[in-house]
C-alpha cells in the first residue's frame, strides 16, 4: 500500500512574551510610602529607594530594596518612579531641586505622585517635567490611610495621560483596591480635595456623635454596630467612632495633614467661587486642634475637642 500522505501539523499557537518587568523607584518612605514600597518589593519588582531622612531607608533595604544616593539616582535607575511627600513644597524640591528626579529622569519614564497638593500645582509640575526631561506625570493622591497602604486597598484618584495611566496601572494594582483616571493632570488632586472635604467634615460629625452618646450614657463604641447597613453607615463611622470612643492615640493619619488639605479645599473653593460653609467650619475646628498642640496627633483625637480640661 502506498504510504499515507503526511498531514502537516498546525503551527504552534504564538504565546505572547510576558511584558518586561519595569524597574521601580520610590521616594518618600513615611507613614504611607514605607508600607507601599514594601508591597512593591513583595510583588517582586526591583526597587530603588531614597528618602530625605536616610534613617527610613534601612527597613526597605533589609527587605531587598537598593538604596540610592539621591532622588536623581532613583530616577536614573527606574522606568516608573513613585513619590509620596508631605506637600507641594516638598514635591517641588524633590522633583526639581538639586539632584532631584528631573535631573536624573530618562525620556519616556513616568512619575506617579501619591502626594496631595493644589490641582494647579500638579498640572504645572507635570507640564514642566515633561518639557524639561520628557518624563510623564500621573498625579495620584490616595485615600485609605496606613491600613490601606499596608493592605493594598487604597483608593487612588488619578490625573494624567490615558496611555501613561494604562502603563502604570498594573503596578499600582498591588497598592490599590481602586485606581481611577479622573481626567488630565490636576484632576486627581481635585478629586482628592473632594475626598478630604467629605472625610474632614465626617470626622467632625463623628466626634459630635461620640460626645452625644457619652453624654446620654450610651456606649459610643456600639454605635457603628447599631447603624451598620443603614443610611448613616460609612467607613468613617466604622473606622473613626470606635477609635474616638477608646481615645485611641495611635497615629495613622495626622491632624496637621487634614488642616493642610482642608485649607487647600477652601483655597480652591474661593478660586472657583464655590460656597462650602460646612467645610469652612470643619477647617477652622481642625486648625483649633492643631493650635492646641495636637498637630501631630491622629485625626481620631479630634474628639478631644469635647473633653473637659
Contact between 60 and 41 under an 8 Å Cβ cutoff? The reply is: yes
Give the strand pairing for 24-27 and 47-50. Answer: parallel
Please count the other Cβ atoms lying within 10 Å of the Cβ belonging to residue 245.
Answer: 21
Non-local (6+) Cβ contacts of 237 within 8 A are 202, 206, 223, 224, 227
Taking the alpha carbons of 24, 110, 36, 16 in that order, is the dihedral positive or negative?
negative
Distance set, CA 124 to CA 4, 55, 117, 146 (Å): 73, 32, 12, 29
Find where cell 495633614 sits: 257
Find where cell 496606613 sits: 146
With b meaning 16 or more CB within 10 Å and e meaning fewer, what string describes 191-207? Answer: bbbebbbebbbbbbbbb
- Chain centroid to Cα 194, Å, comes to 14
Active-site choice (192, 254, 260, 286): 192
Active site residue 56: no
What sections of 24-174 are H helices per DSSP?
A: 33-42, 58-62, 71-76, 88-96, 101-104, 119-133, 145-151, 162-172
Contact between 273 and 258 under an 8 Å Cβ cutoff? The reply is: no
- Chain centroid to Cα 173, Å, comes to 13
Q: Which sequence positions are flagged as catalytic? A: 192
Amino acid at each position: 500500500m502506498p504510504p499515507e500522505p503526511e498531514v502537516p501539523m498546525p503551527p504552534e499557537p504564538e504565546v505572547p512574551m510576558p511584558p518586561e518587568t519595569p524597574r521601580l523607584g520610590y521616594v518618600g518612605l513615611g507613614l504611607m510610602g514605607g508600607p507601599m514600597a514594601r508591597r512593591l518589593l513583595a510583588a517582586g519588582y526591583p526597587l530603588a529607594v531614597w528618602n530625605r531622612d536616610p534613617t527610613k531607608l534601612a527597613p526597605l533595604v533589609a527587605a531587598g530594596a537598593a538604596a540610592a544616593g539621591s532622588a536623581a539616582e532613583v530616577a536614573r535607575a527606574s522606568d516608573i518612579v513613585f513619590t509620596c511627600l508631605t506637600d507641594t513644597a516638598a514635591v517641588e524640591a524633590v522633583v526639581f531641586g538639586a539632584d532631584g528626579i528631573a535631573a536624573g529622569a530618562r525620556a519616556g519614564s513616568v512619575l506617579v505622585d501619591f502626594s496631595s497638593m493644589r490641582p494647579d500645582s500638579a498640572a504645572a509640575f507635570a507640564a514642566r517635567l515633561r518639557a524639561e526631561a520628557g518624563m510623564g506625570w500621573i498625579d495620584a493622591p490616595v485615600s485609605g490611610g496606613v491600613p490601606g497602604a499596608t493592605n493594598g486597598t487604597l483608593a487612588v484618584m488619578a490625573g494624567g495621560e490615558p496611555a501613561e495611566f494604562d502603563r502604570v496601572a498594573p503596578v499600582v494594582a498591588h497598592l490599590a483596591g481602586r485606581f481611577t483616571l479622573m481626567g488630565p493632570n490636576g484632576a486627581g488632586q481635585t478629586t482628592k480635595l473632594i475626598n478630604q472635604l467629605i472625610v474632614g467634615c465626617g470626622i467632625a460629625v463623628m466626634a459630635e456623635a461620640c460626645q452625644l452618646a457619652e453624654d446620654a450614657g450610651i456606649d459610643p463604641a456600639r454605635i457603628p454596630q447599631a447603624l451598620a447597613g443603614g443610611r448613616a453607615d460609612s467607613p468613617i463611622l466604622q473606622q473613626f467612632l470606635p477609635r474616638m470612643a477608646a481615645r485611641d492615640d495611635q497615629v495613622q493619619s495626622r491632624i496637621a495633614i487634614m488642616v493642610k488639605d482642608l485649607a487647600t479645599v477652601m483655597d480652591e473653593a474661593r478660586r472657583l467661587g464655590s460656597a462650602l460653609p460646612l467645610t469652612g467650619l470643619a477647617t477652622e475646628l481642625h486648625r483649633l486642634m492643631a493650635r492646641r498642640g495636637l498637630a501631630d496627633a491622629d485625626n481620631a483625637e479630634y474628639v478631644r475637642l469635647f473633653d473637659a480640661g
